Amino acid sequence: DEIVLTGSDLTIEQIARVAWLNSTVQVSAAARERLHRSREIVDRLVAGETPVYGLNTNLGELKDHRIADSDQATFQRHILLSHASGVGEEHPPDVVRAMMLARLNGMARGASGVQPAVFDTILAMLCEGAHPVVPSRGSIGMSDLAPLAHLALALIGEGQVDFGGSRMSGLDGLAAAGIQPPRLAAKDGL
């Protein structure tokens, strides 16, 4: 019943098995290699002199302002906090599990550029049953920004988590599940 993420062949049946039956999830060696290679590209671009929108520059009207390396973790955290604007009834855990799996599968394609530690933390949360609390309504431009921001808040110890039948802070939920939050770097919040 184990699902192996490759980034290219996840099926609706597999999503349902993870969402409803708590099937275990692993990642293929090829997908893990793509994660590492794409992160190397991000790291090279961030360190370069050429401005790259959202990687080493701010966003929107502030796009011409360079983000110092020492400010990247704070910048990425602020992106998540500013986009976590959802409201209304919360998605049930099975929907959140499906969201987490779909996001992991997208990352496994190797184009997101996130740190492997971010991927691994979301995977651990899914496998350990530490489910972020995600409101069902809200968007900033794109339909998935607010829900994914709420999902990622728990990843960094913010927001709330349902774990073991109890609701708790993101940080307490991660600790209860034995998961250490990653330190965000360039691109991780995006």
Catalytic residues: 53
State the CB neighbour count (10 A cutoff) for residue 89.
8
Report the distance separating Cα 128 and Cα 87, nearest Å: 26
Report the distance separating Cα 139 and Cα 188, nearest Å: 19
User: Hey, what amino acid is at 51?
Assistant: P
